[in-house]
Homo-oligomer: A and B are copies of this chain.
Amino acid sequence: MRFGILGTGMVGQTLARKLVEQGHEVRMGSRSADNDKAAEFATEAGQGASHGTFADAAAFGTIVFNCTAGAHSLDALHAAGAQNLSGKVLIDVCNPLDFSKGFPPSLSVVNTDSQAERIQRAFPAARVVKALNTVNAAVMVAPERLPGTHALFTCGNDPEAKQIVEEILRGFGWEQIIDLGDLSSARGTEAYLLLWVQMYQVLATPDFNIAVVRG
């Protein structure tokens, strides 16, 4: 399959490299076509890896990951272009974290709205699925780093798009995938970050997750 990865940070790098390892064609996009980290990915990740602008990457992918920082996601997606996202599954991994007052961050969107819904409203023809935002990059593509079965959530208005995302997640090794419903449920998975950052502080590692247990 062909994937566009928007964002060259740890999350984008980790997802892009995993997808190339799995034999997919992956184009990493950034603000400028000559981004060093994107170029390094294209050189090092092996056959199938390429790079370009946000628009290049979005046009290339049949599935697009938004791995840009929450605060800049809408700008990055506008640079990618509505026409390059139209009809495509857009996996939104970002969290609207506000570090302006240091650590722990607060959220710039919370409670009665979510970054995922903002993106869906701005790009109504994209098939937005919120996923992977509740775990650290390393855990995203290797859930077996942690013991037992633990949880990942999908949120989105398009059931078929969620199904496609679920298959990608199963390919990464995820087993406990909980479909939380329509995109408004991303309010829950984004707000969970406020708990995540507290756990990160006391556990002193980002290498953790939650498992959902039920009676």
Number of interface residues of A (CB under 8 A): 42
Encode contact with B along A174-215: 1 for CB under 8 Å, 0 otherwise.
000011110001011101101111110111010111111111
- CB nearest to A187 among chain B residues: B194
Of A106, A188, A213, chain B has the most CB atoms within 10 Å of the CB of A213
- CB nearest to A112 among chain B residues: B106
Copies held by the complex: 2
| Contacts known (A111-B106, A195-B192); A146 close to B214, Cβ less than 8 A | yes
User: In the assembled complex, which residues on chain B have CB atoms less than 8 Å from the CB atom of A195?
Assistant: 153, 188-189, 191-192
Known: A180-B202, A207-B215, A208-B215. 20 other contacts (CB 8 A): A107-B111, A146-B214, A147-B213, A147-B215, A150-B211, A151-B210, A180-B198, A180-B199, A181-B202, A187-B194, A188-B194, A188-B196, A188-B199, A191-B195, A199-B212, A203-B214, A205-B215, A209-B213, A210-B210, A210-B212
